[in-house]
């Protein structure tokens, strides 16, 4: 799908989430054929002409100014992440040859070294499509102890966290409030799709999840955006029992490259004790094993 196709879908979906009573518009009991606001009502709120807004929503206008987009974002009551996403979708696509098939992502040496340096804390490195590029012992034990520890080492076998959240029963049972985790995954994929609209591997992942998970299809259709850098999750781990962790996603300011996801717990809490126990979940010798890409280079 092109960026303009995504823009049209996003505007239509978000307009459908607003209702006349949300903006103080009285309808006097009239029957409305479509859910949410009409195009002309949204255009009036944004202070632009209805025909122009219609062309924008239909993907027929490619050069909306920043001021117009900000006005539409305000009318749609978008938050900062959603506003930035709207601007991303509205950028004119570059013309030229079709984008080449992306190469498999790799673990940068610096990120691998950072992962090794925080060996006492559960952490995983994920690519832009949520493929797991590496994890330490505690990260593997916390998020996917039922999967092969060496899975991330081979691009063709890498676990995918979005796929696991929706299609893996173990991961689904791991989160007490699974819908909250699922919405965070979908919101993050939406942001990624806005940045990389021509990524065929990302499109294939979304297509697979849409076909195999009705819950994903429903969440994907409403175009909600969720930049989830820090979030608390109650979990029920099959080995160490109930715990609550704070998941933090650390990424470069440019938003490209892999992200490091770290799970922590309040110091001295039962959850912190449970996380420490995960160091022994991988068996003897696992705690000292560095992730591939973090090994010291020969002199």
Distance of CA 173 to the CA centre of its chain: 20
Rounded CA gap, 274 and 161, in Å?
A: 22
Ranges assigned E (strand) in the chain: 123-126, 132-135, 230-237, 241-250, 259-264
Q: Residue 132: what pLDDT? A: 96
Kindly list the distances between the CA atom of residue 94 and the CA atoms of 91, 240, 254, in Å, as whole numbers in the listed order. 9, 50, 19
Q: Residue 127: what pLDDT? A: 93
Q: Where does residue 188 fall: left (phi above 0), alpha (psi -120 to 50 degrees), or beta otherwise?
A: alpha
List per-residue pLDDT tens for the chain, 299 residues long.
Answer: 445 578 888 888 888 888 877 776 666 556 666 668 888 888 888 888 888 888 888 877 767 888 889 999 898 888 888 888 888 888 756 555 555 667 778 898 989 999 999 888 999 999 999 999 999 999 999 999 999 999 998 888 899 999 999 999 999 999 999 999 999 999 999 988 888 888 899 999 999 999 999 999 999 988 888 777 899 999 999 999 999 999 999 887 666 679 999 999 999 999 999 999 887 765 444 444 555 555 544 44
Tally of CB atoms within 10 A around 106: 15
Rounded CA gap, 230 and 78, in Å?
A: 20
Q: Residue 292: what pLDDT? A: 55
Q: Residue 12: what pLDDT? A: 87
| Structural domains of the chain in order of their starting residue, each with its CATH number | 3-26+35-90 (1.10.260.40), 109-280 (3.30.450.180)
Tally of CB atoms within 10 A around 2: 12
Q: Residue 299: what pLDDT? A: 40
Query: Which of 193, 201, 115 lies closest to 160 in space, CA to CA?
Result: 201
Q: Residue 184: what pLDDT? A: 93
Q: Residue 39: what pLDDT? A: 87
Q: Residue 284: what pLDDT? A: 42
SS3 content of the chain, % helix, strand, coil (to 5): 45, 10, 40
Rounded CA gap, 271 and 240, in Å?
A: 9
């Amino acid at each position: 799908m092109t960026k303009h196709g995504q823009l049209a879908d996003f505007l239509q979906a978000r307009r459908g989430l607003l209702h006349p009573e949300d903006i103080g518009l009285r309808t006097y009991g009239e029957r409305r054929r479509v859910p949410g606001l009409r195009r002309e009502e949204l255009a009036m709120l944004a202070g632009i002409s209805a025909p122009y807004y219609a062309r924008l929503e239909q993907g027929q206008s490619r050069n909306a100014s920043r001021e117009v987009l900000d006005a539409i974002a305000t009318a749609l009551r978008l938050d900062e992440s959603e506003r930035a996403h709207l601007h991303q979708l509205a950028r004119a696509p570059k013309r030229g040859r079709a984008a080449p098939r992306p190469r498999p992502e790799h673990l940068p040496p610096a990120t691998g070294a950072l992962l090794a340096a925080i060996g006492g804390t559960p952490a995983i490195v994920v690519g832009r499509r949520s493929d797991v590029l590496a994890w330490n012992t505690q990260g593997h034990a916390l998020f996917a102890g039922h999967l092969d520890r060496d899975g991330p080492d081979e691009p063709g076998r890498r676990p995918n966290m979005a796929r696991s959240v929706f299609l893996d029963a173990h991961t689904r049972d791991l989160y007490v409030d699974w819908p909250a985790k699922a919405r965070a995954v979908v919101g993050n994929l939406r942001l990624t799709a806005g940045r990389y609209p021509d990524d065929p591997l990302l499109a294939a992942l979304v297509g697979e999840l849409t076909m195999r998970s009705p819950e994903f299809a429903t969440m994907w259709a409403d175009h909600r955006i969720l930049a989830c850098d820090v979030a608390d999750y109650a979990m029920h781990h099959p080995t160490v029992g109930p715990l609550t962790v704070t998941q933090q996603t650390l990424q470069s300011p440019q938003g490209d490259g892999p992200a490091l996801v770290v799970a922590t717990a309040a110091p001295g809490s039962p959850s912190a004790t449970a996380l420490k126990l995960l160091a022994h979940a991988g068996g003897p010798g696992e705690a000292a094993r560095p992730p591939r890409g973090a090994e010291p280079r020969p002199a």
